[in-house]
Amino acid sequence: MQKLYLFDTTLRDGEQVPGCQLNTIEKIELAKALEAMKVDIIECGFPISSPGDFNSIVEISKVIKESVICALTRAVEKDIDVAADALHYAKRKRIHTGIGTSDMHIAHKFRSNKEDILQRAIACVKYAKKYTDDIEFYAEDAGRTDNEYLSKVIDAVIKAGATVVNIPDTTGYCTPYEYGEKIKYLINNVANIDKAIISTHCHNDLGMATANTIAGIINGARQAEVTINGIGERAGNSALEEVVMAIKSRKDIGVYTDIDTKQILKTSRLVSTLMRMPVQPNKAIVGRNAFAHSSGIHQDGVLKNRESYEIIDPSDVGVNESLITLTARSGRAALNHHFKRLSIELNHEELDSAYDKFLKLADCKKEINDNDLLEIAGVTKTKMNQRIRLKFLQVVCGKSSVPMATVKLIIDGEICCATSSGNGPVDATFNAIKALVHRKVILQEFLVQAITRGSDDVGKVHVQIENKGDVFYGYSANTDIITASAEALVNAISKII
């Protein structure tokens, strides 16, 4: 079996999604989670694009020791200089540079010709080589690039020093057969291809990103570019959890990865919470229904033999229902023990705050499961250091009554109170909150999801608001969905103030 290198681009291609932007502290937290999961290469950003991206790469480079830290550039010398600067502290660094190679990109994006693009490709690799030996070249829109020209470019950039050649299906246009054949063509037609690793980078516009990635691997690619939860531009990228579990479950693919699969669910939750991007319930591997059997026939089959209807052992991806039950009588130590079991490290203050939430939840929910714990930890981290907090909420609603909400907020240590009506309990609550914060807040999106099962379950709420043209996101989870809604709005507003 040969090793498949896992290149995670959640912090670059994933973070390009509107609304998924992270601050430096959040990026460091995610980079550490990716390193703990044993991702080989972490692409952390596009440093020339913003001071925020630059700074995040600097800070991540200081703390990550095992994974290679990668920065993206265009085929432009200034970009490469800035990337090299940002990677200064990285123990292991990679520059990812490249240019569009399809007729569409050459004619319309660059208004150029094939020969000029070939020379620019060679030049950028040679230039980047002065900063590090580890150079990855991407042929943007390789999915729609003719194979003959693509081979010429790939041959030339390997001669110039590229050690990894990335073949992106930028627009998610290829079918698995076509993408696999493209990789095979390069292996058979690029004379020096054995001097570089071929990488897949597949987008999901037609829902085929993971299938294309696997087709690329079957045909010889030995690096896969992926994101957690498949997050990314438009319909997203190939999902790390899908590629890794396909390889683990299907030995006939013939490769292995070093990924610690038991960390998959936890990392998926972290990304969903930090990026305020819910995971669809039926999402392969990490959706809340991924291992739920609802029909009687399936339940019976699974009870007799799990493998009748499950091809993956849920514990392999970190779906572990706890054996020691947590109840309202459990102490901080028991709670912390369970967080540690799930590899969640909370500092003293975070544990105190998580414990408060745990007690409230344990009071109104029979059974606290791992999903609840992941949620409590995520919400705790989201809410720490908020300048505005929800202190009190009382709602009156029901058939034939005017919904009214009374809200108390703590704003910079001061308690303030308002009562408002609305066309429903959430609307009344939001009106009261808006009255207290004296900001023009336009609600753009409001999403409520149940986490697992049962009417006593925790509901997750994501909101998106607009203030003076800027967009802010808020998140919370609570068994009381009106409280979760209020907290999510407060979480979003606290980012304006």
Q: Which residues bind Zn ion (CB under 5 A)?
A: 13
- Give least dist CB 12 to Zn ion, A: 8
Closest of 493, 420, 64, 6 to residue 246, by C-alpha? 6
* Phi, psi angle pair for 372, to nearest 5°: -60, -40
Task: Kindly compute the dihedral angle of the four CA atoms of residues 18, 144, 96, 14, in this order, to the nearest 10 degrees.
Answer: 20
- Give least dist CB 9 to ligand KIV, A: 7
Sheet containing strand 414-421, edge to edge, reads 388-396, 404-411, 414-421
| Binding window for ligand KIV (CB under 6 A); candidates: 166-174, 181-189, 359-367, 463-471 | 166-174
| Binding window for ligand KIV (CB under 6 A); candidates: 47-55, 126-134, 162-170, 457-465 | 162-170
Which residue among 8, 15, 79, 140 contacts ligand KIV (CB under 6 A)? 140
Integer Cα distance of 345 and 444 in angstroms: 34
Asked whether position 59 contacts ligand KIV by CB under 6 A, the answer is: no
- Give least dist CB 102 to Zn ion, A: 14
Asked whether position 136 contacts ligand KIV by CB under 6 A, the answer is: no
Nearer to ligand KIV, 171 or 419 (CB): 171
- Give least dist CB 275 to ligand KIV, A: 17
Asked whether position 170 contacts ligand KIV by CB under 6 A, the answer is: yes
Which residue among 27, 93, 94, 201 contacts ligand KIV (CB under 6 A)? 201
Label residue 125 exposed, middle or buried (CB < 10 Å: 0-12, 13-18, 19+): buried
SS3 449: strand
Integer Cα distance of 157 and 150 in angstroms: 11
Asked whether position 15 contacts ligand KIV by CB under 6 A, the answer is: no
Which residue among 6, 10, 13, 215 contacts ligand KIV (CB under 6 A)? 13
Nearer to ligand KIV, 204 or 476 (CB): 204
Sheet containing strand 442-450, edge to edge, reads 442-450, 459-467, 470-478
Asked whether position 105 contacts ligand KIV by CB under 6 A, the answer is: no
Sequence-distant (6+) residues with CB within 8 A of 322 are 338, 341, 368, 369, 370, 373
Which residue among 137, 138, 430, 472 contacts ligand KIV (CB under 6 A)? 138
Q: Which residues here bind ligand KIV, judged by CB under 6 A? A: 13, 138, 140, 166, 168, 170, 201, 203
